[in-house]
Amino acid sequence: MSIVKNTNKKTGITYVYESESYWDPEKKQPRNRRKLIGKLDDDGNIIPTGSRGRKRKEEGTSEKSGGLETLMESLSYYDEQLKKAQTENALLQERIRVLEKEKAAILSGLGDILKKHQ
């Protein structure tokens, strides 16, 4: 086994892996298995990563309450968006009614003009 360092070019973070070579009988080639150990800090020390993904930002906050707060914020945002859309819809419906009345008046006027010219 060996230690492999790999730098992410986008973020500049260097990750440290434990690499194990093995023979792949199907492809008849050597292959590697890598297991993430951690990432390097500025001093070159390895910071171990957890086995279950990203760390929580706030300690002491349970996953469920954080999820519930996020859900409530999302619901509040979508409720505001719905109210805005309903208001805009009402304004557009009123505009349609006005335009339909104008259309009827114009068509009526055209009908009167056509009758006079016949």
For 24, the enclosing helix (H) or strand (E) is: strand 14-24
CA distance linking residue 56 with residue 111, whole number of Å = 72
Q: Which span out of 17-21, 59-63, 71-75, 111-115 was modeled with the highest average pLDDT? A: 17-21
**What residues does 23 pair with on adjacent strands?**
30
pTM of the model: 0.41
Residue-level pLDDT at 24: 94
Please work out, in degrees rounded to the nearest 5, the angle formed at the alpha carbon of residue 43 by the alpha carbons of 39 and 44.
45
CA distance linking residue 35 with residue 84, whole number of Å = 50
CA atoms 68, 71, 72, 73: torsion sign: positive
Please give the share of the chain, as a percent, with pLDDT higher than 90. Answer: 44
